[in-house]
Each structure stands twice: as C-alpha cells, then as structure tokens.
Amino acid sequence: MSTSEGQKSEISSGERHIFVCQYHSCLHQNSQEVLKTFEAETKNLVGVNIEPSSCLGQCSIGPTVRIIPDEIWYYRVQPEHIPLIVRQHLKGNKPIDEMLNPRIHPRF
Ligand code: FES
C-alpha cells in the first residue's frame, strides 16, 4: 500500500500489528505509557497485536506508532489519544487524519 492510499478514509480490517517505539527519544516523550495504554485498551480486541519496537526513524516527532498491514504511522501519540485510535481506527477502520505522521503521509 502506498502512503497516499493510507490516507483514504476507509481501510480494510484484519489482523493488525501495532508497533510502539520504545527507543530513546520516544521513551523521553512518554512512549512507555503509550505502550501500556495500548495494551490495556486492546486486551479484548481479537486480531490486534501490540508490540514494542526499536527506533522507527521518526525520533523528533515521537512517540511513534506504526500500524500494519494498514501502513499507517501516527506521530506525537500520547496515552489520551489511544481510545480514539481504538474506536475510530481499529474498530471503525478509519485512520485519524489529524494524527497521521506528515512525513509519511504528506498532505497535498
Ligand atoms: S526513538 Fe522513536 S522513532 Fe526514533
């Protein structure tokens, strides 16, 4: 899937992996709490796997979260954002446009 396809308002559902960066810069920006909140908020969701990740190359705009196979990247994710990601993206299959990493999902 290209990055432009990732900006469609509807994406397919299925088995997902959510990578939450746990490397230096993101850890300094609260990514450990982001990881814990994702684990707590998705524990009853089938087909969602939360995985700690090493650096995803987006250090200055972390905490970084990458969701595959959707190939959606969120930036500056904080624990309070997780319920919306769960509700709108993971359950509703609609990525949150305002939270898309602008380097990976450029707006034209
Ligand atoms: S430290 Fe998280 S993206 Fe690099």
| pLDDT tens-digit profile, the chain (108 residues) | 444 444 444 565 569 999 999 999 999 999 999 999 999 999 999 999 999 999 999 999 999 999 999 999 999 999 999 999 999 999 999 999 999 999 999 987
pTM for the model: 0.88
Question: Cα(23) to centroid of ligand 1, in Å?
Answer: 5
Cβ 32 under 6 angstroms from ligand 1? no
Task: Map out the domains of the chain as residue ranges.
Answer: 13-99
- 96 in Cβ contact with 88 (< 8 Å): yes
Q: Which of 34, 56, 65, 103 to mutate to test the pocket of ligand 1 (most atoms within 8 A of CB)?
A: 56
pLDDT at 108: 77
Tell how strand 48-53 and strand 72-74 pair up. unpaired
Q: What does CATH list as the number for 13-99?
A: 3.40.30.10
- Whole-number Å distance between alpha carbons of 74 and 98: 9
Q: How far is CA 29 from CA 2, 4, 12, 59, 62, in A?
A: 28, 28, 30, 10, 7
Instruction: Take residue 56 and report the two structure tokens written for it.
Output: 């995803």
pLDDT of residue 101: 98
